[in-house]
Chain A
Amino acid sequence: MENFKGPLDLLLFLIQKEELDITDVELSLLTTQFAEKIDEAEIDLGSEWLVLTATLLLIKSQKLIPGEEIPEEELPRVAVFQKLLEYCQIKEAASALANQEDKQRLFFSRGGSEKPERTTSGLEEVAIEDLTALLRDLLARAPKMGTIEKEQWEVSPKIEWLRSQINLNRLAFTSLFHSEMCRGELIVTFLALLELMKLGEVRVIKEEEIYVESTGC
């Protein structure tokens, strides 16, 4: 059951197995098979499966019980066919794409491999303890404030400022935090730096000293 990518995929498989034209499908047969398959699975397959099964059963019941005529376009089978047709087209397109991917794998552009797919936070060489120690050290140096004032420092302008400071260079970590910065500004600068690391624009390296450098991204 896990081999199917959703209820439509299974339905399509059943239709193809019976070699039926999907505009003239013997739905009662199909519905029985579909329901059996779902029973076999015995797992929660989600509401989409339920909806499709219910729709198929409704179609089946309409065929079995003679009643008032329902206009063709209001029949649920029309909606199911439309969905199936659309899904069929997409499956074809997907296999065409896969085919194209296979063909293209024989061409190599310069550099061989693509860019690394994951950007790291740049924290491999700096332990969290190093960062907390730095922050503590910076806060200890900051002048204490007695009154609470309106928030003066915001992260996004700080990010811009940091970008302009680092600008493809490598800087000592401490050079970004001036002693005349107040507590609030220090915290915001620190947060801005963390944000840039998260974005993969800068990384922090520990050598004889701790440095901040641009990743060139």
Chain B
Amino acid sequence: MLNLLDVETEQEERAPSRDRQIMRIIEALLFSTADSVSLEKIKEIVSSVYPVGLRELRRLIDALREEYRDQNRAFTIDEIADGYLLRTVEEMGPYVELLHLNRRGEKLSKASMEVLAIIAYRSPITRAEVEAIRGVDSSGTVASLIERGLIEEVGRKEAPGRPIQWGVTKRFLKHFGLKSAADIHQIK
């Protein structure tokens, strides 16, 4: 197999190649934010200088990711919340955790997990429907999930009083490290 990266490394000593430059842009974009960045957004930005297709972009992101892995870097690029997110690798977790002891969000309570699970699997769903499944009042739990930004209004049910229907947010996807809402069903 022709080793493309080696060829590029030689060229880089003078000027970075087009591919290398795009990879650097991607890296810079992901580094700059705590949120995931969608492929479309990356394309939009990169295309302002280097016209690039989605497939090629995906290939370059994969190349960057492989590079991190091959070089045993502390970061990884993961597909989370309908985009790409730069985060530290799992192995570094215990160390990074020590730095952020007071800044980590509280773990969710058992009741919150139940309500979240119901909303994640049955969305769009009203609070009354959640309560019917759990057999217990869930207003406080729903309120705290809204406050934590894990659920949001996704519509109104065509029923008396037009009750709010809830669904999970992008923040939920990030919290649980999921690529998209459809991935919920793959959690084991």
Contact = CB atoms under 8 A, between A and B. Distances in A.
Given A5-B114, A106-B90, A113 B135 contact: no
A107 B93 contact: yes
B55 interface: no
Contact of B113 (A86, A98, A107, A117): A98
Interface in B27-41: 31-35
Interface in A66-125: 83, 86-87, 90-91, 93-101, 103-115, 117-118
Contact of B88 (A7, A8, A98, A108): A108
Nearest to A91: B114
Interface stretch (B2-10, B17-25, B64-72, B102-110): B102-110
**Chain A interface SS verdict (over half):** helix
B34 A87 contact: no
Q: Which of A5, A48, A86, A113 has the most CB of B within 10 A?
A: A5
B134 A6 contact: yes
Nearest to B74: A108
Contacts of B137: 46
A52 B177 CA distance: 37
A100 B187 contact: yes
Interface in B76-119: 76, 78, 85-90, 92-94, 96-97, 99-100, 103-105, 107-108, 110-111, 113-114, 116-118
Contacts of B88: 107-108
Contacts of B93: 105-108
B14 to A, nearest CB: 31
Contacts of B149: 115, 117
- 8 A-B pairs closest in CB distance: A106-B93, A6-B136, A111-B34, A113-B103, A93-B117, A94-B113, A104-B177, A94-B117
